[in-house]
Amino acid sequence: MPSRARPRARYRRRLRSRIILAFVLLGFGLTALFAFATNWTRNRVENQLVEDLMNRNIEQAAQQFQQDPDNPQFAVDQIRAFVYTSDKFDSVRENRPEWYRLSDGITTITGTDELGNPMAYKLAVRKTPQAWFFLAYDMSQASRGEAQFNRTIYGSVVVFTLLSLLVGWWAASRVMSPVSELARRLKRSGRSAQPEALASHFSDDEVGQLAAALDDYAARLTQVVQRDREFNADVSHELRTPLAVIKGAVELLLSRPELDEKTRSRLFRIQRAEQQCTDLISALLLLSRNERGHGHTDIARLAEQLLDMHRAQLGGKALQLRMEGPRGLTVDAPEAAVAVALGNLIGNAVKYTPSGEVLVRLYADLVEVIDSGPGLSNEDAAKLFERGYRGTHAGHSQGGGIGLSIVRRLCELYGWDVRVKPGVERGVVATLRFSARGFEVAETTPRGQMS
């Protein structure tokens, strides 16, 4: 069958997975945000306290220098203080060049000590014409404390994320349990003709309301299906009765020897039309019941009958109908169903081929119907089996565009495959392939042409 364009598949998570993922993302997001805010606040407060302490102490250092200029180096509140008078400015440039370049303010300095260990300290600088004041606050211990604090708080992010995963898993199981139970009961209910009531098994919550809505929908759908089956059975029975009357009357009239050829030809045409109607009713009844009928249909014999029927309807059309290929292909399906499928393909080829030939070619597991008509566009080939679609070459011909739609539905029912494609040079090639379990191959005759 012509492959329908399917939308590009997209990855869809299960509802349970989405609930768990939502809990994990929420837990991770909140704890990560809390960790970031805590770390930022801690660093900001710590830096502010240290800088306030250093600013206050450097003021104290300047005041003490004024009181006792003979003691330029001293400690204030566990902060190392250095005071250099104007005659020692050059020594600062030689011994501590990184300090010499600094201006007033507080600067963080990192590096390594004499032993090669990493160190960090804050340096407060105040330079006056009389003296330069430096206060060094060792940040190594504070850096180690900050690293330990970061490890702890980031570890708490991981712990709370895992906890969110467990809580999400538990919550998803509790939330999805009634939904999964509803799906199981609904699947089990669909296996019987009378669906099981679902709402009585669930509490009066959202899932219970969904179950009640499904019960109502199932009841209405059952009524529609029942009415459809009764209508199809009634129509089939009521139509078979007049068709049987027509068939009996035609057979009775054909048994009269005094009939002229013109009347006999018309009666044969009525007989063929009656057989077509009977086959079509049988096929439509199978489709309405969605059940596969069984039988042993000889494809070669049926194809010959269909070609003979269309030969009688050619009139003055310059068209040759022939068949070639081995006999022996037998399909496990009612002859009516195969006749409707193959007959529509042959009928379309005959209808849209003004002259030339229509060839039915038999193979081991398929039948090809090849015509020499005007051909087929890619757009027609893609839409030809849609209900109501008529090709660009249909013109004013009779028909509602449902014949090939019925063929498609029969192929879906029996697992067959039907395709239509443009011919090599012109015309159309229609292929009806029967499923592996739907046909049998008997001993075949040598391949040759059969007219």
Return d(Cα 63, Cα 65) in angstroms, integer: 5
HSE of 119, CA atoms in CB hemisphere, 13 A: 14
Mean pLDDT over 217-234 rounds to 77
Over 70: is that where the pLDDT of 5 sits? no
Give the right CATH number for 292-450 from 3.40.225.10, 3.90.1150.10, 3.30.565.10, 3.40.50.150. Answer: 3.30.565.10
pLDDT band at residue 192 under the 50/70/90 scheme: low
Query: What residue spans define the domains of the chain?
Result: 17-147, 202-291, 292-450
Predicted pLDDT of residue 163: 92
Position with higher pLDDT, 354 vs 51: 354
Position with higher pLDDT, 336 vs 382: 336
Q: What are the φ/ψ torsions at residue 356 (nearest 5 degrees)?
A: 110, -125
Mean pLDDT of the chain: 78
pLDDT band at residue 120 under the 50/70/90 scheme: confident
Beta strand 366-371 pairing with 428-433: antiparallel
Query: Angle at the Cα of 60 (from 54 to 61), degrees rounded to 5?
Result: 85
Return d(Cα 32, Cα 53) in angstroms, integer: 31
Q: Which residues pair with 331 in a beta bridge?
A: 297, 439
Predicted pLDDT of residue 449: 35
Over 70: is that where the pLDDT of 84 sits? yes
> In the numeric block, which tokens belong to residue 140?
């190594």
Most confident of 112-116, 151-155, 243-247: 151-155
HSE of 260, CA atoms in CB hemisphere, 13 A: 2
3-state secondary structure 64-97: HHHHCCCCCCEEECCEEEEEEEHHHHHHHHHHCH
Query: Angle at the Cα of 48 (from 108 to 143), degrees rounded to 5?
Result: 50
pLDDT tens per residue across span 266-279: 888 888 888 888 88
pLDDT band at residue 194 under the 50/70/90 scheme: low
Return d(Cα 394, Cα 389) in angstroms, integer: 10
Over 60: is that where the pLDDT of 143 sits? yes
Nearest Cα to 165, choosing from 19, 373, 55?
A: 19
Handedness of CA 251, 252, 258, 262 (dihedral sign): negative
Among the residues of 352-402, which ranges form H helices? 378-383
Over 60: is that where the pLDDT of 445 sits? no
pLDDT tens per residue across span 27-49: 899 999 998 898 888 888 877 88
Over 60: is that where the pLDDT of 339 sits? yes
pLDDT tens per residue across span 236-261: 767 777 888 888 888 888 888 888 88
Over 80: is that where the pLDDT of 388 sits? no
Return d(Cα 120, Cα 173) in angstroms, integer: 52
- The burial class, CB within 10 Å (0-12 / 13-18 / 19+), for 284 is buried
Predicted pLDDT of residue 6: 46
Fold classified for 202-291: Helix Hairpins (1.10.287)
